[in-house]
Structure formats: structure tokens, C-alpha cells
Amino acid sequence: MARTIGVIGIGHVGVTTAFNIVTKGLADTLVMIDSKEGWAEAERADLKDSLGGLSTYTKLIANDYSALRDADVVIFSAGDISVIKDGDRNSEIKTTKAAIDDVAPKLAASGFHGVLIDVSNPCDVAVSYWQEKLDLGRNQIIGTGTALDTYRMRRAVAEAVRVNVADVRGYNMGEHGADQFTAWSSVRVNNKPIKDFPNVKLDEISEAARLGGWQIFKAKHYTSFGIATIACEIALAVCNDAHRIFPCSAYDPEFDIAIGHPTTIGRTGVIDNPPMGLSGDEVDAYAHAAETIKANLAKLHALS
């Protein structure tokens, strides 16, 4: 079955995502959409120049919402990262809301009925807002959430205990922002609980995961490679019906909000929410993050 993936918002993250989709052969058709005149068309032409050197072929379409009708996945990465202040992703609430308000009716009119993956920040707030704007099941609208934060945590643990990052398992959860936390009760290194490594400074690793993006942002003024990789992995899990677990931003009925937590991802988006088995402190941190996201969603609703 032919696979179609759409990317809306062809900035640093969007074009890196598109490049990964094409060079890894993740889709048979890639639809790129951007509001800046000529931008998606230019990136389409640039990507077409790479096709002769690849072992796969991807049909490339620019700025055609109708081509998203039967898309398996649409990745939304529109927004304006330049408005971020003091390392606060919530600085993007106004610009992200405006982008969603512009795109949502066009996406709905296209007949799109696949899975939407939000990358734009504040991710958890944006996912909740998308769920209000589109007539899709909540399971079909997710965000990258704390998946990238989880990868940053895993990298830091791997460096601390000198193992390959693939041998570290566990999750960061909560808000993709200041109120994220590492669920240390879930972290394993070669199947050993992290508590079996007494010399590992957990607080320092948690902080490294939380601030990792800002260290990159201070120099580059954006991040792209990590988040694009996560978006592609989640998109592939949808296309493959992989039933793979990611700490996505997804609806949690207990708190009635989208929040970063382990979710099983397949063809229809969220298949289920595996039990988390958190410690008491982690339960409290998760609840606190949920309240923070709700407060920020209220700020979005208050915008004209």
C-alpha cells in the first residue's frame, strides 16, 4: 500500500523532517506545505535533486492540501521559533494558535482522516487545541511531547554509565517544557534499575534532559535534527502499524488534557496507554504538569 506523509510548515524542523522522509524512503508521496510564497516549491525542487542518488523514490508535491485527503500522517511543524523568550516554549502560544487557526479549516476541507503529529510548541497545549479544531478522534491527534526529552535523558544516562544509548530504557513525562520530569522508576540500563548505579547523579541528568534543547538553541537559535528524527519515528510507527511505545503528548482521560506519557502507537494513532507504575513523587509531578498544561491552554483560549 502506498504511503503518503504531509509536512505542514517547512522551516528548520519541517525541512529536516522532509529530508529524512525522502532519504530514508519512509513514504511513496511527500506533501510539503508552507505559507511563505514559493518556499515549499523551492524545497521540493531541492529535494528532487537528491532523488538520483537514492535507492528509493518519493513523489514530491508542494502546497496542495487536496493531496492530503488520504495521507497516512500529517506532521505539523508551523510556527515562529523567533518569538521564544527566556527559554519558555509557551512564548509561542500566540503564533502557534494563529498557525493552527489558519491550517485547521484547510486540513479539514481536504478530507484528511489520518493521524496528525504536532511538533509545534507549546506541544501539549497545541495537541489539545488541535483536538478541539478537527473532527478526528483524540487518538488520531498526538504530539512529539516528551519523546525528545526522553532521548536526551537516555543519552545523558548512557554517557554517565558508559554504555550504548540503545541499552538505556525509560521515559521523561509530563509537559514538554519546564514541568517535564524523568520517571526514574522506569529507567533501566541493560535491564538493571538505575538505582543499581549509585554513582549516577540523577538530578544532574534530569536537568541535562530538561535544558538540553536550550543549550543548542542558544548557539543555533533553533533545534532540528533530534525532533525531526522523533517525528519520523512516530510517523513510521503509524504507517507500519508498529504498536511501538513512545512518550507522546496524547489525551489522558484522567486529567482531561494532552500530556506526555507512554502511548502505544499504531495505524490509528494511540492504541492504548500502558500502565505507568510511577512512584508517589512521580505521580505528583505528573499531576502538577497536567495542571500547568491546563493553565496554558486557558491562556491560549483567552487570546483573541
What's the pLDDT tens digit per position in 25-59? 999 999 999 999 999 999 999 999 999 999 999 99
Whole-angstrom distance, CA of residue 231 vs CA of residue 225: 10
CB 34 within 8 A of CB 40: yes
Predicted confidence at residue 86, as pLDDT, reads: 59
Confidence band (pLDDT; 50, 70, 90) for 127? very high
Predicted confidence at residue 88, as pLDDT, reads: 64
Q: Is residue 87's pLDDT more than 60? A: no
Predicted confidence at residue 79, as pLDDT, reads: 83
What's the pLDDT tens digit per position in 202-212? 998 888 777 77
Could you tell me where the beta strands, DSSP code E, fall in 161-243? 168-174, 180-189, 192-193
Q: Which of 12, 113, 176, 288 is catalytic?
A: 176
Phi, psi of 95 (to 5 degrees): -70, -35
What's the pLDDT tens digit per position in 245-255? 999 999 999 99
Share of the chain above pLDDT 70, in %: 97
What's the pLDDT tens digit per position in 210-251? 777 767 777 787 788 999 999 999 999 999 999 999 999 999
Lowest pLDDT segment from 73-87, 101-115, 142-156, 174-188: 73-87
Catalytic site residue 176? yes
Confidence band (pLDDT; 50, 70, 90) for 85? low
Cis peptide before 193 (omega within 30 of 0): no
Predicted confidence at residue 107, as pLDDT, reads: 98
Q: What is the mean pLDDT of the chain?
A: 94
Whole-angstrom distance, CA of residue 76 vs CA of residue 73: 10
Whole-angstrom distance, CA of residue 302 vs CA of residue 7: 28
User: Parallel, antiparallel, or unpaired: how do β-strands 4-8 and 73-76 relate?
Assistant: parallel
Predicted confidence at residue 207, as pLDDT, reads: 85
DSSP conformation letters of 34-96 = -SSTTHHHHHHHHHHTTGGG-SS--EEEES-GGGGTT-SEEEE--S-GGG-BTTBGGGGHHHH
Mean pLDDT of 138-159: 95
